[in-house]
């Protein structure tokens, strides 16, 4: 190491070569790095979906869901599974363990599901798939001036084809249109009676004639001709020509003679509207190997060209996620420049201007080196990696500051620049290497975070890569440039700069010699009082946290760029009424925008766009004609007094309580899950519903909560049909009766055909006006062996509420209740504690068969704490080993580690200063702090040991270590805090996600530095006094304080070994 360092100092050309390489390859790597919103983590979710047309939720649960759940039980690698059984459809969602091979798990699940042999005969084959990891890119909407959904669908398919043909976009999801297209043959009851035709006859005629059939080939020596019938069609006019029946007189009855044929979307409500016009939304996503910037550029150019050439349709960009990344890049550049300028300013005032420039070069050099490794590793420029770069700016120069300051100190001793560079670097090299290594180890646990924060691994990658390159640059390149006589030269004290620097130097020396050193001496004299003060600070801090003055919550408040308004009216309300109510709410949203503009005097719209969706709400837990959402896209709020919570609250007040709604929520979502989320489990659905109602009623009485929702759905009214005894005499069975009713009301499925991108289902059924009321059902003619009879003659009809959806979690029937905070700055744990101690026990007592489980943020926090305990425990042990091996002493290692909890005090105080709650992000900041706070302690302890080797007494060695390292420690602290402070003060919504971590680091290091300078000398002396006392118990010799110190003992051993070797040779 010494030879390499000396070579870089003697031949500065080597350092220049390194700089050129970093600039060239690093810049190319930066340009080649792809952009993304968030890092893509391998999906741990596998889904099993089954379609079973005409099945009720109960049929799906008993005949499909339960079979799948039973088949996958016992498969290793499954963390949990949940299921939804609804009409015609069932889905089982399986979550794998974080450390398990998902491809292997997918294979095992697929084999297990394929082994189920007793699925219903009419159920389609289960589809088992692993969710692909995707990242949001762009939201756009295509709207039309007319209500022709078929035309809109055709245009949407063309746009999708253009996107996929670009070679840039591969992941597109189209929303806002029903998923299934139908070619419907509608025939009313009168025509069926008149022509004595049944639904089955029409269905069979279509199935037998609407075909392409290959009949063989005519072959001879000269030619070969295929014989084929091409009668397959999805054209309603051509389908009308199919013959259904031929009379005895030879006349034919065609479909067009007795029925109406039309191509349409299925009757299931599923629509999207922008400015009250029908629209289709394109959710464009990206895979790991795709670039957000390329996608954004292509989509925006396409939209511009499209709108120029189309009159009846228009495409609007609702949200471009590249704008978020560009905003973060802006923050990085600003904070980076500010950090570099702060480093240059501080170092130039305390050391030397040119020296400060070379030390500050460590920041861009580290980033350039990191870009090279990141580009090769597939790391993208995203919000998390950018936060990592912002977070590390202030820490990067610590090693350079320590090395640069020590080189400058040796230069002030009268050494030549080259000798000062070599001696100064080698003196602190071991301490710098150990301190950077411990910081790297402290950030390593971020690679293993699970749950919502699993994406933090890219932050760890960025930080560690930057630290490695910073260390290499500080050890080899920096000394070579500081050895230049033009860099290390006496300051002209007569110049303006010289006078300013002299004043600053005098001020620092005054603080050190007149304030710090006397204070340390007093502390060393009054040891008991000093320990009592530190102990009281611990007690005070614990009290502040325990009393809630500095509260703890699970996850920090993270403002969003968009939110959803969910609405579920009472079941049975038709689609038009739901649509009108959603349009009314949308109007109120835009009124809120105008009100806020008047109140805050803004010239911009706080709301950029809104979109109404019908057919589903509350993340799919509500579906049907009574459900819908409004997607609200927000404008840039960074430089305004308005945030997303202000808008949500104003919308809630503007709309008030909606009487027709049994569920209504404004912005009921959170990046980390609901603050209050509890699953209720039971065996009896009625009892479970009752428990849910009581629980929600209790939650509504808690003032802090609103937007109380659940994943259960009130069933719509249903008509139960039971055969009368005389119906059996007529030859009817329950199956034959229901098949006739199904043919008329649901439709007799004749064919399923693929036409382009659309699968078209051909149905034969009654027209809509024959299916509007109960009377029509009662008068429906049922065909029997004895003739035709009205349904009311052969069956009893009764009405009741149906079960619309059945949710299960790990095989148990579940209703999940979520609630959100009115004040986002309120702590969650006290509320959950109240619910667990005061509310849930009463519910459980009233319903003994009902149990509960915490979900949402509580569950994720528990998993995070388990990760912290496991991985930080390992990292902490490695840090302990590194320190103890370096100092060759248990006691010195423990003294340095004692600075970590003292740093935690500062981190907690920092949260109180900024009014920020302690959260999981804060805890990960504490973990990172544990590796950085001890850096200055290592430098201090290293100098103390060097002083002992030089022959100083313990007391003098401690005081001199503080005096000698005072400037370096202050410099590293100031530069680190200065680099982090712009991020802490940043008002960007996305930046607030990482602010708690930045506060923990900045204030932990700030106050930790004070403790290192004042309390570490105290600990050294106290431990030394204990060693002297303890050794004196077993020895009659006079024990000096120096003789019990490891550095002194090791030095004496080295001296004796050297003397012995000299005598031998």
* 145 plus 232 within the same structural domain: no
What average pLDDT does range 21-41 have in this prediction? 87
Q: Is residue 854 part of a domain?
A: no
How do residues 120-129 score in pLDDT, each as one tens digit?
Answer: 888 889 999 9
pLDDT of residue 87 exceeding 60, the answer is yes
Q: Is residue 807 part of a domain?
A: no
* 602 plus 568 within the same structural domain: yes
Residue 716 φ/ψ, nearest 5 degrees: -80, 170
CA distances from 6 to 342, 433, 801 (A): 30, 17, 86
* 265 plus 236 within the same structural domain: no
Confidence of residue 492 (pLDDT cuts 50, 70, 90): low
Q: What span, in angstroms and rounded, lies between the C-alpha atoms of 489 and 505? A: 16
| Domain-terminating residue out of 755, 771, 801 | 801
Kind plus residue range of the DSSP H or E element containing 57? helix 57-60
Confidence of residue 990 (pLDDT cuts 50, 70, 90): low
What average pLDDT does range 958-970 have in this prediction? 88
Q: What span, in angstroms and rounded, lies between the C-alpha atoms of 500 and 349? A: 7
CA-nearest of 927, 867, 671 to 38 is 671
- Looking at residue 864, what is its pLDDT? 77
* 439 plus 415 within the same structural domain: yes
In sequence order, what DSSP letters do the residues of 352-403 get, joined into one string?
-HHHHHHHHTHHHHHHHHHHHHHHHHT--B-HHHHHHHHHHHHHHTHHHHHH
Residue 298: give the domain boundaries. 134-187+259-320
Dump strand ranges (E) for 449-505.
Answer: none
Count of structural domains within the chain? 4
Nearest 10 degrees: CA dihedral of 329, 330, 331, 337? 100
Are 366 and 350 contacting, i.e. CB atoms less than 8 angstroms apart?
Answer: no
- Looking at residue 1049, what is its pLDDT? 83
- Mean pLDDT for all residues in the chain: 86
Considering the entire predicted model, what is its pTM? 0.77
First to last CA, the chain: 28
All residues at 6 or more sequence positions from 571 whose CB lies less than 8 Å from its CB, including other chains: 624, 626, 713, 714, 715, 716, 717, 804
* 155 plus 207 within the same structural domain: no
Q: What span, in angstroms and rounded, lies between the C-alpha atoms of 1022 and 26? A: 50
**Tokens read off for 141:** 């909407």
> What CATH number is associated with residue 567?
3.30.70.1430
Sign of the alpha-carbon dihedral angle for 955, 958, 962, 963: positive
- Looking at residue 491, what is its pLDDT? 66
* 963 plus 1019 within the same structural domain: yes
> What CATH number is associated with residue 287?
3.30.70.1320
Query: Helix, strand, coil: what percent of the chain each, to 5?
Result: 55, 20, 25
CA-nearest of 133, 995, 41 to 454 is 41
* 900 plus 990 within the same structural domain: yes
Count, residues in the chain: 1065
| Domain-terminating residue out of 291, 320, 349 | 320
In sequence order, what DSSP letters do the residues of 421-458 get, joined into one string?
HHHHHHHHHHHHHHHHHHHHHHHGGGGG--GGGGGGHH
| Domain-terminating residue out of 271, 296, 320 | 320
Q: Is residue 960 part of a domain?
A: yes
* 534 plus 394 within the same structural domain: yes
- Looking at residue 341, what is its pLDDT? 77
- Between β-strands 135-144 and 277-286, what pairing exists: parallel, antiparallel or unpaired? antiparallel
pLDDT of residue 482 exceeding 70, the answer is yes
> What CATH number is associated with residue 220?
3.30.2090.10
Name the more confident of 509 and 673. Answer: 509
How do residues 831-851 score in pLDDT, each as one tens digit?
Answer: 998 999 999 999 999 999 999
* 365 plus 421 within the same structural domain: yes
* 254 plus 307 within the same structural domain: no
* 353 plus 424 within the same structural domain: yes
Dump strand ranges (E) for 145-240.
Answer: 171-175, 181-186, 212-219, 224-230
Are 114 and 272 contacting, i.e. CB atoms less than 8 angstroms apart?
Answer: no
Confidence of residue 485 (pLDDT cuts 50, 70, 90): confident
How do residues 540-588 score in pLDDT, each as one tens digit?
Answer: 999 988 888 888 887 776 677 788 899 988 877 888 889 999 999 999 9
How do residues 178-190 score in pLDDT, each as one tens digit?
Answer: 778 899 999 998 8
């Amino acid at each position: 190491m010494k030879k390499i360092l000396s070579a870089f100092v003697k031949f500065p050309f080597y350092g220049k070569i390194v700089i050129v390489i970093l600039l060239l390859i690093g810049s190319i790597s930066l340009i080649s790095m792809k952009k993304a919103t968030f890092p893509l983590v391998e999906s741990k979710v596998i889904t099993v979906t089954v379609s079973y047309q005409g099945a009720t939720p109960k049929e799906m649960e008993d005949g499909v869901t339960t079979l799948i759940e039973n088949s996958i039980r016992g498969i290793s690698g499954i963390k949990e599974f949940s299921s939804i059984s609804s009409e015609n459809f069932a889905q089982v969602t399986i979550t794998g363990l974080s450390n398990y091979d998902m491809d292997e798990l997918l294979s095992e699940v697929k084999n297990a599901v394929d082994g189920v042999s007793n699925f219903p005969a009419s159920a389609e084959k289960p589809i088992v798939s692993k969710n692909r990891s995707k990242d949001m890119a762009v939201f756009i909407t295509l709207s039309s001036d007319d209500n022709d959904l078929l035309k809109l669908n055709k245009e949407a398919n063309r746009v999708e084809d253009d996107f996929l043909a670009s070679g840039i976009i591969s992941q597109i999801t189209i929303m806002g249109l029903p998923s299934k297209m139908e070619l419907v043959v509608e025939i009313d009851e009168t025509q069926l009676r008149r022509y004595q035709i049944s639904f089955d006859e029409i269905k069979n005629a279509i199935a037998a004639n609407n075909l392409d059939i290959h009949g063989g080939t005519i072959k001879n020596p000269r030619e070969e001709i295929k014989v084929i019938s091409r009668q397959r069609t999805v054209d309603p006019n051509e389908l009308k020509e199919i013959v259904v029946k031929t009379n005895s007189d030879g006349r034919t009855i065609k479909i067009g003679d007795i029925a109406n044929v039309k191509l349409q979307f299925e009757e299931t409500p599923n629509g999207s509207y922008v400015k009250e016009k029908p629209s289709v939304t394109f959710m464009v996503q990206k895979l790991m190997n795709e670039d957000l910037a390329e996608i954004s550029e292509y989509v925006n150019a396409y939209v511009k060209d499209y709108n120029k050439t189309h009159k009846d349709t228009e495409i609007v960009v609702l949200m471009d996620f590249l704008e978020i990344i560009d905003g973060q890049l802006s923050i990085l550049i600003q904070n980076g420049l500010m950090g570099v300028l702060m480093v240059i300013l501080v170092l130039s005032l305390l050391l030397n201007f040119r020296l400060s420039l070379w030390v500050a070069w460590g920041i861009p050099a580290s980033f350039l080196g990191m870009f090279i490794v990141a580009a090769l590793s597939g790391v993208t420029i995203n919000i998390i990696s950018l936060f990592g770069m912002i977070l590390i700016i202030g820490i990067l120069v610590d090693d350079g500051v320590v090395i640069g300051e020590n080189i400058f100190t040796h230069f002030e001793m009268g050494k030549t620049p080259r000798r000062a560079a070599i001696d100064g670097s080698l003196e602190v090299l071991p301490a710098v290497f150990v301190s950077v290594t411990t910081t790297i180890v402290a950030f390593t646990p971020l690679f293993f975070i699970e749950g919502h924060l699993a994406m933090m691994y890219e932050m760890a990658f960025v930080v560690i890569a930057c630290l490695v390159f910073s260390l290499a640059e500080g050890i080899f390149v920096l000394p070579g440039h500081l050895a230049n006589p033009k860099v290390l030269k006496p300051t002209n004290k007569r110049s303006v700069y010289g006078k300013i620097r002299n004043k600053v130097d005098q001020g620092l020396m005054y603080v050190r010699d007149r304030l710090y050193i006397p204070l340390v001496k007093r502390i060393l004299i009054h040891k008991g009082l000093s320990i009592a003060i530190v102990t009281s600070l611990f007690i005070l801090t614990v009290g502040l946290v325990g009393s809630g003055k500095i509260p703890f919550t699970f996850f920090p408040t993270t403002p969003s760029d968009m939110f959803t308004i969910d609405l579920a009216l009472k079941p049975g309300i038709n689609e038009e009424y739901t649509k009108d109510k959603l349009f009314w709410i949308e109007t109120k949203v835009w009124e809120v925008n105008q009100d806020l503009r008047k109140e805050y005097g803004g010239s911009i719209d706080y709301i950029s766009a809104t979109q109404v969706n019908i057919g589903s709400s509350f993340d799919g837990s509500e579906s049907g004609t009574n459900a819908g959402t409004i997607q609200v896209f927000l404008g840039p709020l960074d430089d305004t007094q308005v945030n997303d919570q202000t808008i949500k609250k104003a919308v809630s007040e503007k709309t008030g309580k909606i009487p027709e709604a049994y569920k209504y929520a404004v912005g009921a979502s959170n990046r980390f899950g609901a603050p209050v989320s509890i699953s209720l489990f039971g065996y009896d659905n009625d009892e479970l519903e009752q428990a849910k109602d009581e629980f929600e009623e209790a939650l509504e009485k808690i003032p802090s909560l609103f937007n109380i929702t659940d994943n259960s759905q009130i069933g719509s009214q249903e008509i139960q049909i039971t055969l009368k005894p005389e119906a059996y005499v007529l030859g009817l069975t329950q199956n034959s009766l229901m098949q006739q009713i199904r043919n008329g009301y649901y439709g007799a499925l004749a064919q399923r055909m693929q036409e382009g991108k659309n699968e078209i289902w051909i149905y034969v059924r009654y027209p809509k006006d024959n299916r509007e009321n109960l009377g029509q059902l009662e008068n429906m003619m049922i065909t029997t062996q004895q003739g035709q009879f009205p349904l009311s003659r052969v069956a009893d009809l009764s009405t009741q509420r149906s079960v619309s959806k059945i949710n299960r979690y790990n095989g148990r029937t579940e209703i999940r209740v979520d609630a959100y905070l009115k004040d986002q700055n309120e702590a969650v744990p006290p509320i959950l504690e109240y619910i667990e101690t005061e509310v849930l026990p009463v519910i459980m007592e009233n319903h003994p068969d009902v149990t509960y489980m915490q979900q949402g943020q509580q569950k994720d926090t528990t998993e995070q704490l388990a990760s912290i305990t496991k991985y930080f425990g390992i990292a902490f042990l490695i840090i302990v080993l590194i320190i103890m091996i370096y100092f060759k002493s248990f006691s010195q290692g423990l003294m340095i580690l004692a600075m970590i909890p003292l740093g935690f005090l500062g981190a907690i105080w920092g949260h109180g200063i900024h009014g920020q709650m302690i959260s999981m992000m804060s805890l990960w900041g504490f973990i990172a702090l544990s590796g950085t706070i001890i850096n200055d302690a290592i430098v201090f302890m290293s100098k103390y040991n060097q002083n002992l080797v030089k022959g100083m007494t313990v007391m003098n060695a401690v005081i001199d270590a503080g005096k000698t390292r005072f400037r370096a420690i202050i410099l590293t602290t100031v530069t680190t805090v200065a680099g982090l402070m712009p991020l802490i003060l940043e008002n960007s919504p996305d930046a607030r996600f990482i602010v708690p971590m930045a506060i923990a680091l900045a204030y932990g290091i700030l106050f930790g530095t004070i403790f290192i300078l004042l309390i570490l000398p105290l600990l050294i002396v106290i431990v030394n006094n204990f060693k002297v006392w303890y050794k004196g118990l077993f020895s009659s010799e006079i024990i000096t304080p120096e003789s019990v110190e490891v550095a002194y003992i090791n030095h004496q051993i080295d001296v004796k070994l050297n003397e012995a070797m000299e005598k031998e040779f």
